[in-house]
Structure 1
């Protein structure tokens, strides 16, 4: 999920994708380009690859879909109903749907937002199911002075009202873990421990956690052990480099090859979505390299 700068600001600045991509205009690919393309079509299949729309919003969605398919990505994250037809046109899944949340700070931990959230999610859950998708994102919201116990109790009350509908339609509500140290000050679901306790109290397979590797490295570290110990509560993963939220290569501290192997060893069958902000002007090249790193 985005930083304070990100999703709100970046979605206002969509421009044509071809310039950003630096796509060759020649019809004849070089030998190197043909080799890269061939390799991109031969992913190992141990990780299901997705990419978060907002990180690449300077590229129009059609172009992002076309280029993503070329490099072995089979889904796009964080798109709502208006964009689903574009994904379907290109044969891509919507790995993590959005559009029912109010925002990142007004969430299920505060009863004053329950009426709006229950209405929004009650309308969106059947739409997600009808489109053939499964995951719908949700948020705890900010503490605003609430204790952990108050936050858990309030979230349970709000989410319990939606669980029968989610179960009926086989839709999973997925709460994202966000760091409160750097990007999302005061966010309540800021550790795996807090999210897992909420999942235990809800006791439904239709509620899972979105384990954002970037955010949890910042707030708690010990990523691989945490994944191994809590994988049954995790329904989705996001990536980004630490520090900086940029490329996941050797310029940052996380060992994404080891992390992907740990995820694969848990038997996880869902999606891992790239959610980094590329510094490289050729954004698709950075995305391709990220997929290569994660394709264990």
Structure 2
């Protein structure tokens, strides 16, 4: 117990010593944190962070860091970690645990029975906990053309929309790049995902627009968001190329992208999903949030 308490105290000291950013520029320098210079967010963006990207921290340590920065939620956690988030007053902004994996998804009828069972059981758990979003995946093509994948996904997802609507839970399919990270993944372009949303025909099925992934596979991020925001329930970030920090080494203009998202009236969450490579992981997270806080 003493060891755990010392670890928590050390983490708090690390956070307290992390420099504060000016959010006005990507290359802002750090200055010491004091009571007179708190880290203040504008309130236009609901910030979250993906659990798996900070696996070197315990869930509790990540919650402590998130609270200090002003992050409201943690992404991609399942039921076993919800009590820890609740302890710190944080939301589970994108829940997981019902999917089989990223490869075997709704585009293959062989997995429908397992997926329907998993999601039918998980959706009421989200509702009971007060959470709204549950991630899902198309799965890999494995030789299936676009139309077959769309038809199979539609058939499977339509069997879940009634229970999702009843529990006020949104099933959210993530757009992933198939060029670099997820070879053969089918839901790899916004038009394919949008067509699936239209076919399912429920307000309780939408897309997770991962800015990193879609920059790689299709680009034209801001125009795509403006044209398709009504089909998007959630956003993820990361630097391109590399999926690392949102710094001067990557190509995306995140303040401009965030302004475009805010301009659509979006009230959901934007989750940081970069893999930090710098020594001070929490400083990297703080910098990313400041950059995206428009």
- The two structures have a TM-score, normalised by structure 2, of 0.90
Match of 1:118 in 2: 116
- Matched residue SS, 2:166: helix
Match of 1:292 in 2: 290
- The partner residue of 2:144 within 143, 146, 161 is 146
1:276–1:223 distance in 2 versus 1, CA, 3 Å: same
Identify unmatched segments of 5+ residues in structure 2: 1-5, 20-30
Structure 1 CA distance for aligned equivalents of residues 71 and 85 of structure 2: 12
Deviations 1:82-121 (A, max 9, x none): 0000000000000000000000000000000000000000
Structure 2 CA distance for aligned equivalents of residues 249 and 124 of structure 1: 37
- Matched residue SS, 2:262: helix
- The partner residue of 2:128 within 127, 130, 133 is 130
Structure 2 CA distance for aligned equivalents of residues 58 and 277 of structure 1: 11
1:264–1:158 distance in 2 versus 1, CA, 3 Å: same
Q: How much does 1:20 deviate?
A: 9.7
Structure 2 CA distance for aligned equivalents of residues 271 and 62 of structure 1: 20
Match of 1:272 in 2: 270
Match of 1:180 in 2: 178
Residue 162 of structure 1 pairs with residue 160 of structure 2 = yes
The CA RMSD over aligned residues, in Å, is: 2.2
Q: Which runs of 4+ in 1 moved over 3 A?
A: 16-27
Deviations 1:158-212 (A, max 9, x none): 0000000000000000000000000000000000010000001111100010000
Residue 248 of structure 1 pairs with residue 241 of structure 2 = no
Match of 2:25 in 1: none
Match of 1:34 in 2: 34
Alignment of 1:71-110 (within 5 A): 71-110=69-108
Q: How much does 1:63 deviate?
A: 1.0
On the 8 A contact 1:174/1:209 being kept in 2, the answer is yes
Q: How many residues align?
A: 278
Structure 2 CA distance for aligned equivalents of residues 284 and 121 of structure 1: 33
Q: How much does 1:39 deviate?
A: 3.2
